[in-house]
Structure 1
């Protein structure tokens, strides 16, 4: 992001380049799953992680998608999803966490501008909104799935345009997922989940959730990268280690698919 003295303050999480850099700089091979696990999928991931050949096309005056590598014959579209969305009081949806991020920037824009003006070139600002809502109101599996479906479908509707702009290029969808981890409670919950409660259930293997996989299969992408840096299931269930990054060959998905009861899904963040 350019110096704040000449540009409006912007949350780096609203930048496609930053979201891609987040994957590249924080990638951990030990918590990455390839589906299927083969040399082709591994090669696609390596190409995406290597920034050398990629051209940033995320600006308004450049034909989409967001990034293109002619050397690798690949193109990549970036998207962001979380589990905070809610139906609005009127039409559409609201996102309390995103609204709080905007509020913070508006309230402290002068201070942020001064701070960034004194920082190194290329410094950026990352704001994470906090709603202070009860868990059941702050994190919703059903709205997480709904938002995932809506956002991926929106980009899928432009897949033909992407392919027209860059013929003979493979299409990669990359989704930066800010949601928490979830588990499916063994019992139907009658009360708000609170700190210290003991619950029985099974973890949410998001990468094999049939409902999400159906969205990915319909995405019209050739490859789909799902990065989930904030789930941290291991902090809530001893010995549990799920992938943080998953890359799919969309036409060759071969994992056993799992079904979950939306009414019993609980966020692990209290």
Structure 2
């Protein structure tokens, strides 16, 4: 799962990566069959179009609810076991700006695991738990500092109903890569 908008259902980053790999093969790059080559490329889009909070929420919702529609089948395959969803989240970190009321770069860090937009989807998923991996999220602050973010979050869905969740304004969400 990621935060790249897909106008026309095409991810520009993945398309550019495939193009680079084709160019490398055409140039004569020989790769052993057991090796996977990944191209780290830019989409060429401005950050707000490349990494987008609304696309992040939409992609998470679509992916989780697609799997949730198969929850009965999953449970039938393993009766007596809890159902857990593993989320491999390749998105960037976000923060909510103060908008016109505050200086640029000031705001509140996005806590995806407590965001009401994501929590609502998790509750609707029919899953018992989520293991949410976020290996690429980085939140840098001025002075070369960094806010530590979890790389793995284990969420007991039953406990989500007991807590109050954070509401973020999508129009003020900004990628930390901006």
- Secondary structure of the structure 2 residue equivalent to 1:169: coil
1:172-228: CA deviations, max 9, x gaps? Answer: 211111111111110149xxxxxxx94221111111101111111111112101111
Query: Is 2:137–2:149's contact at 8 Å kept on the other side of the alignment?
Result: no
Matched position secondary structure for 2:154: strand
Number of the residue aligned with 1:260 = 168
Question: Measured at CA, do residues 201 and 158 of structure 1 come closer, stay the same or move farther in structure 2, by a change above 3 Å?
Answer: same
After superposition, residues 25-44 of structure 1 pair within 5 angstroms as: none
- Report what 2:127 is aligned to: 221
Q: Secondary structure at the match of 2:99?
A: coil
Query: CA–CA distance in 2 between the matches of 1:229 and 1:242?
Result: 9
Alignment-derived partner of residue 8 in structure 1: none
Find the counterpart in structure 1 of residue 17 from structure 2. Answer: 101
- Looking at structure 2, the residues matched to 110 and 187 of structure 1 have their Cα atoms a distance apart, in angstroms, of 48
Rounded Cα–Cα distance in structure 2 between residues aligned with 1:239 and 1:111: 40
Change (3 A) 1:103 1:239: closer
Query: How far has the Cα of 1:132 moved from its partner?
Result: 2.0
- Please tell me whether residue 128 in structure 1 is matched to residue 40 in structure 2: yes
Whether the 8 Å CA contact 2:52–2:175 is kept in 1: the answer is yes
Q: Which residue of 2 aligns with 1:6?
A: none
Please report the RMSD computed on the Cα atoms of aligned residues, expressed in angstroms: 2.3
Shift of 1:232: 0.7
Distance 1:231 1:168 in 2: 35
Give the TM-score, by structure 2 length: 0.86
1:163 aligns with 2:75: yes
- Please name the residue that 1:212 is paired with: 118
Q: In the TM superposition, what is the alpha-carbon distance from 1:96 to its structure 2 partner?
A: 1.1
Question: Do 1:99 and 1:129's aligned partners in 2 also have CA atoms closer than 8 Å?
Answer: no
Could you list the runs of 5+ residues in structure 2 that have no partner in the other structure?
none
> Structure 1: which 5+ runs fail to align?
1-80, 190-196
The question of 1:140 aligning with 2:62 is answered: no
> Is the contact made by 1:188 and 1:263 (CA closer than 8 Å) also made in structure 2?
no
Please give the TM-score of this superposition, normalised by the length of structure 1: 0.58
User: 1:80-106 CA distances to partner (integer Å, 9 max, x unpaired)?
Assistant: x11112332xxxx32111222222233
SS of 2:59 mapped into structure 1: helix
Is 1:83–2:3 an aligned residue pair?
yes
1:28-55 C-alpha deviation (Å, 9 max, x unpaired): xxxxxxxxxxxxxxxxxxxxxxxxxxxx
Corresponding residue of 1:236: 141
